[in-house]
Amino acid sequence: MKKVQIVSSFLAIALLASSAQAAGLDTGTAAINTFKTWFFVILAALSVIYLGAKGAQLATDKIQWADYGQCIMKTAVVGGSTALAGWAFFLWAA
């Protein structure tokens, strides 16, 4: 009988805690979306700076076209992996 009371009290506390924290979920979701937006903006700016610097090296013949193509592919892989991570987070968070 004592075990039943302990289990039922834990369930009651869990139900009360989850209903009390429901408002915090919206705040957390908004914070994650804001972080995601700023992360993508910063990543895009860094990608433009990186490709611009490599383009300047290409213009001065310090690197070859093949090296510049590799830089473009690396940038595409990094951008694709962040988009894939966001998609996976959305998929498993639902």
pLDDT on residue 80: 87
pLDDT tens figures, 22-68: 566 778 788 888 888 888 889 889 999 999 999 999 999 999 999 99
Q: Which residues of 64-83 are buried (b: 16+ CB within 10 A; e: fewer)?
A: eeeeeeebeeebeeeeeeee
Q: Is the pLDDT of residue 72 over 80?
A: yes
Q: What's the pLDDT score for residue 53? A: 96
Q: What is the pLDDT of residue 60?
A: 96
Q: Give residue 35's pLDDT.
A: 87
- Does position 17 have pLDDT exceeding 70, yes or no? no
CA distances from 23 to 56, 77, 94 (A): 50, 37, 17
Average pLDDT over residues 16-22: 54
